[in-house]
Chain A
Amino acid sequence: MISRSLHTLLLLGGLLGASLTAPVAHAGKTLDTIKQRGTLQCGVSTGVAGFSLADSQGRWAGFDVDFCRAIAAAVLGDPNKVHFVPLNSQQRFAAIQSGEVDILARNTTWTLNRDGALGLSFTGVTYYDGQGFLVPKKLKVTSAKQLRNAEVCVQSGTTNEKNLAEYFRGIGVKVRPVVFEGFEASFKAFFSGRCQAYTTDISGLAGVRNKEAPNPDDYTILPEVISKEPLGPAVRRGDDEWFAIVRWVPFALIEAEELGITAANVDKIRAENKDPAFTRLLGSGEDTGKNLGLDKDWAYRAIKSVGNYGEIFARNVGPESVLKLPRGLNNLWNKGGILFAPPVR
């Protein structure tokens, strides 16, 4: 944690230093820098099960991680040419502003203030989430409205902290926030019994419950969803070319799911299927890459390396993972969800 605080300071120092001395930065050229460097710098969380977590060999895995790998595959031709930079919630915006990372894929909520005032732009939504509460079953609480005078553990610097205050003020119930700087400290305090409830996005709650709890069955997620938390990647403002790439790779993966293209069958479909919708996406027909400054196989490589959106979901947060989250809103528009990719053409 010391090194993390130091890291925050260095980042902020770097930002300040860059602002102090550097000549005014010009828009553009993120793509060129990445190609020259040979790796994509991707800012992820310090460890949220299902979204971005490093294993014992230091290999990163997760939902956010896979989107970075997909973009690296599209841009550099190799999903492993990504350098993951773990960032806590205080460091993340400074890291993208100062240019330490090319893309911020760190389960970050898209809000007007962040889009408008922080010098960054969200490229879209990869996961529709909402904030909820985790409580010990022994408290016999069935609704957040019963949490009178409870203490709620929450991580600082998140939209969750603000939603918590607004929600309980709105329903006229008094609770006390206990605000931790680190994610680990926040849930450890909860599991030690310091707080009667823990709050974060529901996907995060599932991760904390299933991965960190001494016994997951002792805890339950309350039914209230108190906010909209659209999570998605963000890029530094001012480079429209790079923005378009980071926006369209996830769209291509959603489109792939809609067309039934998976990592396993993509080669076969590419060789056999002559339908323009397929050939455009897979680079075997009209060149869609040139509009993005990429080659025609950009989407093919992304799908081949991480699979379509549904595969990424299932592997990291869905039925094949410890989180077992339902697709819910994050299903395709024609299957009851709200994922709708604009046409890749």
Chain B
Amino acid sequence: MVRSARQRLLAFLAQLALAALIACALAWLGQNVLDNMRERGIRAGFDFLVEPAGFDIGEGPLAFEASQPLWRAFLAGTLNTLRVGLPAMLLASALGLLIGLGRLAQHPVPRRICDALVETLRNIPLLLQLLMCYFALASLLPDASHALAPAPGVLLSQSGLFLPAWRCEDSCGWSWPRVDGFGIDGGWALTPEYMAVLIALSLYTAVFIAEIVRGGIQSVSRGQIDAARSIGLRPAQVLRHVVLPLALRAIVPPLGNQYLNLIKNSSLAVAVGYPDLVSVANTSLNQTGRAFECIVIVMAVYLSLSLLTALLVNTFNARVALRGSP
């Protein structure tokens, strides 16, 4: 249908009016929130972000201490969320691929193992798996003064896994973990909280990815595989050059959903004491009383992370999708 210039203008104006209406409604709601909060004697605004935080954050890539401002605490929390979320995505994808292929294996032993894994892990709430994983780590490992040393320079205890790290402070050099006081100092630390979140999140997401991988592979038509075999490709080559590229088209969109879920699920980390964004926001919320503002920040960060993930997945999807196919 070809529309006249006049029709297009009317349609444009109608949309403009709707957008203005929505903007007005949002502004009215926002103003109401502020008025009501003021009326009830609750301070409002984002000015508190420049005040010193007053609390420490136990771990993370961004060094943080109590005298630094709150916005930096939120940044450290966000980085901690990414620090566990990104490796978990990689691990979950790799494990998911393996388990998914395992469920299609000819041999019954790997197939049954993978079946059992999927049915168990996806049917137990993630929070319980996380707590289970955490308390298992915390009670199985020895305390810091009796740390295990599985390899030179590596210490494993209830305080975490410590690896040697290359540090540049006054001068550059290797920082070796060593038992000092009641804990372990130096080196690069992976705390039990971090490991529990990473393991639980990866496994839980992996079994969902496994089902997506299995479904994707099963969606490849039998004829394609027969054709590949008939030109003399070995089974591994069939998988590598024919099945996976075709399956990928069915796998990528739902895979993106799993990545989004993973990022959002990482907010459960607060239950086992990992200082992620939610944990930092909870603390800030209580120290400053700015509940509304802190929740808005958390929502904005998760929304941005999710939209960014979706964008990346969609870009990748556009590249693997066959042109002209539905």
A residues whose Cβ falls under 8 Å from a Cβ of B = 1-2, 12, 15-16, 18-22, 24-25, 89-90, 93-94, 97, 113-114, 116-120, 139, 141, 146-151, 153, 156-158, 161-162, 164-166, 169, 176-182, 185-186, 188-189, 192-194, 196, 236-238
11 contacts between A and B (CB under 8 A): A89-B286, A90-B285, A117-B42, A119-B37, A120-B41, A149-B184, A165-B55, A169-B67, A176-B58, A194-B158, A237-B41
Q: Is B127 an interface residue (CB 8 A)?
A: yes
> How far is it, in angstroms, between the C-alpha of A165 and the C-alpha of B53 when the chains are bound?
10
A131 to chain B minimum Cβ distance, whole angstroms, is 14
Tell me whether B272 and A185 are in contact (CB under 8 A): yes
With A19-B33, A93-B291, A113-B288 in contact, do A165 and B127 touch (Cβ < 8 Å)?
no
Distance (whole angstroms) from the CB of A235 to the closest CB of chain B: 12
- Does A194 contact B192, Cβ atoms closer than 8 Å? yes
List the 8 shortest-distance A-B pairs measured between CB atoms, nearest first.
A148-B181, A157-B286, A149-B183, A149-B181, A119-B42, A150-B182, A165-B66, A118-B289
Closest to A22 in B: B36
List residues 22-74 of chain B with CB under 8 A from any CB of chain A. 29, 32-33, 35-37, 39-43, 54-59, 65-67
Taking a contact as CB atoms under 8 Å apart, the answer to whether B54 and A165 are in contact is: yes
Kindly specify which of B95-103, B217-225, B275-283 makes contact with the partner chain: B275-283
- Check: B230 CB closer than 8 A to any chain A CB: no
Is the CB of B306 closer than 8 A to any CB of chain A? no
What residues make up the interface of B, taking CB atoms closer than 8 Å to A? 29, 32-33, 35-37, 39-43, 54-59, 65-67, 125, 127, 131, 134-135, 138-139, 143-144, 158-159, 180-185, 191-193, 270-273, 275, 279, 282-283, 285-289, 291-292, 295
Known interface pairs A178-B58, A178-B193, A194-B138. Does A12 touch B295 (Cβ–Cβ under 8 Å)? yes
B271 touching A185, Cβ below 8 Å:
yes
* Residue of B36, B54, B193 contacting most chain A CB atoms (<10 Å): B36
Give the docked Cα–Cα distance between A2 and B128 (Å).
10
Using Cβ atoms and an 8 Å threshold, which residues of chain A touch B295? 12, 16
Query: Are A24 and B35 in touch, CB under 8 angstroms?
Result: yes
Return chain B residues, CB-CB under 8 Å to A162.
54-55, 66, 287
A147 touches B181 (CB 8 A): yes
A181 B282 Cβ-Cβ under 8 A: yes
Which residue of B has the minimal Cβ distance to A15? Answer: B291
Chain B residues with CB under 8 A of A182: 271
Contact, CB under 8 Å: B273 / A178: yes
CB within 8 Å for A25 and B40 given contacts A15-B291, A114-B289, A117-B288: yes
Q: Which residue of B lies closest to A168 (CB)?
A: B56
Q: How many whole Å from A177's CB to the nearest CB in chain B?
A: 5
User: Does A189 lie within 8 Å of B138, measured CB to CB?
Assistant: yes
Is B58 within 8 A of A179, CB to CB? yes
Query: Within 8 Å CB of A141, what residues of B?
Result: 182
Nearest CB of chain B from residue A186's CB, rounded to whole Å: 8
B residues within 8 A CB of A120?
41
Question: What's the nearest-Cβ distance from chain B to residue A162, in Å?
Answer: 5
A114-B289, A157-B287, A179-B58 known; 18 other A-B pairs, CB under 8 Å?
A16-B292, A18-B36, A19-B36, A22-B36, A25-B36, A25-B40, A139-B182, A141-B182, A148-B181, A150-B182, A158-B286, A179-B273, A181-B282, A189-B134, A189-B138, A189-B272, A236-B40, A237-B40
Is A93's CB under 8 angstroms from B286's CB?
Answer: yes
Using known A-B contacts A148-B180, A149-B180, A166-B54, determine if residue A118 contacts B272 with beta carbons closer than 8 Å.
no
Which residue, B57, B125, B291, has most C-beta atoms of chain A within 10 A?
B291
**Contact of A24 (CB < 8 Å), options: B39, B183, B282:** B39
**Closest B residue, CB atoms, query A116:** B43
The minimal Cβ–Cβ distance linking B294 to chain A, given in whole angstroms, is: 10
Could you tell me if B135 and A188 are in contact, using CB atoms closer than 8 angstroms?
A: yes
